[in-house]
Amino acid sequence: MRSTKIVATLGPASSTEAIIESLAIAGANVFRLNFSHGSHADHASRHAMIRNVEARLGRPLGILIDLQGPKLRVGKFAEQAPTLHRGHEFVFDTNEAPGNGTRVHLPHPEIFSAVSPGDRLLVDDGKMQFRVISADLERIVTCVETDGCISDRKGVSVPEARLSIPALSEKDKTDLAFGLSLGVDWVALSFVQCAEDVIEARALIGERAAIVSKIEKPQALENIVDILDASDGLMVARGDLGVEMPPEDVPAVQKHLVQLARGTGKPVIVATQMLESMTTASTPTRAEASDVATAVYDGVDAVMLSAESASGQFPVEAVQFMSRIIDKTEADPLHRRLMKASGTDPVADGTDAIGAAIQAISRTLPVAVAVTYTTTGGTPLRVARLRPSASILSLGPRIEIARRLCLAWGVMARTSAAAETTEDVVSLAVSAVQATGLNTSNKAVVVASGVPFGLPGSTNLLRVILPAEIERLATQEPMLAC
């Protein structure tokens, strides 16, 4: 019953059904399909293999597609990779002629209209840095700030300027439509700068998938409350954040974003370079193990592997190590104290009152598990928001909701028959606990749901099932349909 979930990216190193099954057995809860790489046929094949593995293992697996977002790049050069020197002048312009050691084509008019003197242009993930001296709609004159080489089609970012570029490019829209046709569970949006970017995506997605906003731009931090309100979850994309802002600022930003997301009960993922050395090494560094553990101590919902599982030499071992780090951290008595210190108090609504009551009951009675019955996923997310000491088993008739909940802290999601009465929910809960092999010996089971059933936001029922009643109900014919 590990609480913190693992997102594993699939790629060339993890594109067979046997490897995907090994990743799931090792501890992967959600699989990421990165649409910056691979064809639609590649992603369709991996999607089908995940669903085959899911059926064999008998438990839901989540699938997240990560859209590429708009990519800003310089043009081409007449000669290969000219060398630039600090203090020299360099021009980005609208001239489509091949570049040289003094200028290059920049095919993005949005940048020309947005930058001002003093802004920075970062090229090739910040390896080359330029400071704007002057700018108009045809030329950006800069001063080179780092020695190095610049080459064809390298990426460009402008940390200080807000660009009038939609978060969804035409490629993204095509990829999104394809991903939704497969039936994915989560969509990760790149280049989010404001809530309107999420709202635009929501209009295309509807209720077919949940939305994770990737926070990788400083401008997103200025609008984070509205972005979070419009999203279903957040991803702390530390790699891009570390390019667009000083690396020493990223840890504080990470903690701030995790706390904000936890306060709303929306899943938050910490991503990028978590076990980066395992791309080529069979074990992580001590610093990487500490990095993963820090995120777990902060109570994040999920930690993510990128190249480690997608293109690395040890994809299964990377998941195994991440799972072991999480297990060890969650077993530390300090873990719960730190999570509580960085969490938020219950708010004045029925669902949080139920969650607080579950915490109080767990301190009074030995509780095997808290069972939530849900048709929308709202109840287990709100219960998980308070990070209860009891494990959370979520039941409901919709497989798509169970798959989305694979990203949520502490939630084991399973499908069940539909409930029509409180007695149905109690019977489902006992059957599910028995089916999943949870130890209920001399322990109570707590059940939370909403009446009337199927009404979002109506969590108002809390039932404590004592060991004697569990034993009696366990002899009845189960309603569960796992």
Q: Which of 272, 351, 372, 379 is catalytic?
A: 272
Tokens of residue 378, six digits = 């709202």
Strand order of the β-sheet with 392-396 is 411-415, 392-396, 367-373, 444-450, 459-465
Cα separation, 153 vs 406, in Å, equals 38
DSSP-derived secondary structure letter, 441: T
Active site residue 174: no
This prediction has a pTM of 0.92
Residue of 32, 154, 266, 382 marked active site: 32
At 363, the pLDDT band (50, 70, 90 cuts) reads confident
Q: Is the pLDDT of residue 446 over 80?
A: yes
pLDDT of 478 over the 70 cut: no
Give tens-digit pLDDT for 159-191: 988 888 888 999 999 999 999 999 999 999 999
Split at pLDDT 50, 70, 90, the class of 482 is: very low
Mean pLDDT of 476-481: 56
Q: Provide long-range contacts, Cβ within 8 A and 24+ apart, for 97-100.
A: 99/74, 99/75
Known active-site residue 337: no
pLDDT band per the 50, 70, 90 thresholds, residue 350 = low
Establish whether 73 is a catalytic residue: yes
- 3-class DSSP state of 407: helix
Percent residues over pLDDT 90 in the chain: 73
* pLDDT, position 82: 95
Domains and CATH numbers, the chain: 5-70+166-333 (3.20.20.60), 83-157 (2.40.33.10), 350-474 (3.40.1380.20)
Q: Cα(15)–Cα(62) distance, rounded to whole angstroms?
A: 16
Query: Residue 69: pLDDT band by 50, 70, 90 thresholds?
Result: very high
Higher-scoring residue by pLDDT: 292, 443: 292
Q: Between these two residues, 153 and 436, which has the higher pLDDT value?
A: 153
- The pLDDT value given to residue 67: 97
CB atoms within 10 A of CB 79: 10
211-220, 371-380, 394-403, range with the lowest pLDDT: 371-380
- Percentage, residues of the chain above pLDDT 70: 96
Select which of 2, 51, 71, 73 is catalytic.
Answer: 73
* Average pLDDT value for residue range 184-211: 97
Distance of CA 49 to CAs 30, 308, 379, 386, 399, Å? Answer: 13, 20, 30, 35, 17
**Predicted pLDDT at 481:** 47
Is residue 9 annotated as part of the catalytic site, yes or no? no
Structure confidence at residue 437 (pLDDT):
80
Please give the Cα distance from 418 to 416 (Å, whole number): 6
- Confidence class for position 327, pLDDT limits 50, 70, 90: very high
Q: What is the pLDDT of residues 56-66, one digit of tens each?
A: 999 999 999 99
- Minimum mean pLDDT range among 9-18, 82-91, 271-280, 436-445: 436-445
For 347, the token pair is 């708010």
Tens digit of each residue's pLDDT (9 = 90 or more) over 259-306: 999 999 999 999 999 999 999 999 999 999 999 999 999 999 999 999
| Per-residue model confidence (pLDDT) at position 467 | 84
Q: Which of 37-46, 145-154, 353-362 has the lowest mean pLDDT?
A: 353-362
Catalytic residue among 103, 154, 214, 382: 214
| Mean pLDDT of all residues belonging to the chain | 92
pLDDT at 414: 94
218-226: average pLDDT: 95
At 292 the three-state DSSP class reads helix
Q: What is the pLDDT of residue 208?
A: 97
User: How many Å apart are CA 244 and CA 182, to the nearest integer?
Assistant: 34
